[in-house]
Amino acid sequence: MKKRLLLIICIISQFALSATGLADEKVPISLEEVIATALKNNPSLRQAQLDKSAAGWGMLGAVSEAFPHVSFNSSVLRSDDESVFRSNIMRDVILQEYGQYIDPEDFPPFLYKDMYSSSISVDQPIYNGGVEITALRIAGTRKKIIKLTLETQQRETILQATIAYYNLCRAYQAFLVQQNTLEVSNSYLNRFKRRQDLGLISEVDVLRWEVQAADEYAAFIEAENNLKLANLELGRVIGLSSEGWYYPSDLADFLGVSSGDPSAGIESPESLWERIQERSPDLEIARSSIALEKQNVWLASSNFQPKFNFNYTYAWQSDGDLALDGFESWTASISLSMPIFASFGNVAKIQEARIGVKKAKESVRDYENSLHIQLIAAYSDLQSAAARLNSAKRMSQQAEEVVAAQENRHELGMITMLELLDAKTTKLRAELNQINSLFDALIARERLVRIVGPMDR
């Protein structure tokens, strides 16, 4: 008997220490804070935001290809002495014969030992088989895809953060239920122990409550461990670590949802599918891949088209120094290039691009079917979770009524201690089942929101 009393005292003391330690280290956090923190700290999301910025510069680069390209060109040419002599022999003869009439500065050498040439050229693309406009379209499509990818990653981050928070709520509420159940069991144990001391009940009845208290303490420890894991998972998802315990500050609001129907206000699968068809970033990304492949066809077809460009060059006289002086000249030219035969390489490229379009269309068709299946599965999961929640609520209410009735009957000696324990065990299971059903339904709704998009809560 003394051993049992010692065991009970140890259980109660450990429980009190654990519960006190938990209460002293709570860090309140709401769902809104969790989502905001996750969106701020998610590394994949930051990468997508950088990709979006890079896509803007890529768009600017594609636009710049259609504008004039201005360049300054300078070169130096070193020649051997023999070449310099031969190139300037006529100049030397003329200066020897008529030097008194000609200023050597006005009659520069035809070739210097070190000859410097400088010019400014302007190249203006006019038509290159549509390459410039196609490059602009490709850049625009890629920018759109990156923007949609950012939206999908935001949705996924919100989903993961919300699921982690709901699991924290689930674990915390289960912990509170187990804590309360353990306190009630210890209260019953003390109560029946006093009745045993008065000789009103047998030692077997007290032993049953001792076993019940030990079982519930083990369940309490398991609930505490689950709460620790839920805290760690939440910290991982939002990119923060805390030495204390996260406390779901809006837990009461979510528990109030259990009185309603989480599936209320959800449209039919057909209406939801229409919404997805109109505005789904996942589906738009897949469809944009077709546009990219079509633009590759345009690029390949440009090899069959003429290229028409304009060039203007302003040059300074080539002489023996880097100074921009001497005679000045300019030239303007329009060039036309017409491809005739390229050993069937261009034909192969355009056929390859057309096959790429067909593959992209098949891929989109397959993805649409997969997305539709995901929608039906998520919708069905929500309906099933809502039905389980309604059933769990009824079971919990009935279990409470049964426990109240069984307590009265036990006081009157109409039932055994074992029957009372069975009723309390059933009530505990019903409470935990209602908690799990509630957050299963909330998570199922969030999974549907991830596929369809934001809906009224």
Q: What is the tens place of the pLDDT at every residue in 308-327?
A: 899 999 988 777 777 777 67
Q: pLDDT tier at 364 (50, 70, 90 boundaries)?
A: very high
Nearest to 309 by CA among 130, 128, 119: 128
**pLDDT score at 263:** 78
Q: Is the pLDDT of residue 8 over 50?
A: no
In this structure, which topology does domain 2-73+117-452 adopt according to CATH? Outer membrane efflux proteins (OEP) (1.20.1600)
Question: Is residue 274 pLDDT above 80, yes or no?
Answer: yes
Distances from the Cα of 329 to the Cα of 69, 97, 323, angstroms: 20, 29, 15
- 404 vs 455 pLDDT, higher one: 404
Quick: pLDDT tens for 35-76.
999 999 888 888 888 888 888 888 888 888 888 999 999 888
Residues in the chain: 457
Q: How far apart are the first and last CA of the chain?
A: 56
Read off the pLDDT band of 199 (50, 70, 90): low
Please give the residue that has the higher pLDDT: either 249 or 104: 249
Kindly tell me the burial class for residue 5, based on how many C-beta atoms sit within 10 Å of its own C-beta (0-12, 13-18, 19 or more).
Answer: exposed
Q: Which residues pair with 121 in a beta bridge?
A: 71, 313
With 0-12 / 13-18 / 19 or more C-beta atoms within 10 angstroms meaning exposed / middle / buried, residue 65 is middle
- Distance of alpha carbon 211 from its chain centroid, rounded? 49
Torsion of CA 214, 218, 220, 226, to 10 degrees: 180
Greater pLDDT, 363 or 12: 363
| Mean pLDDT, residues 326-342 | 85
pLDDT at 10 exceeding the cut of 70 = no
Which residues of the chain does CATH 1.20.1600.10 include? 2-73+117-452
Question: Degrees (nearest 5) of the Cα angle 234, 239, 243?
Answer: 65
The pTM score is 0.76
Tens-digit pLDDT profile for residues 215-270: 888 888 999 999 999 999 998 888 887 656 888 988 888 787 666 777 777 889 99
Q: Of 444 and 84, which is predicted with more confidence?
A: 444
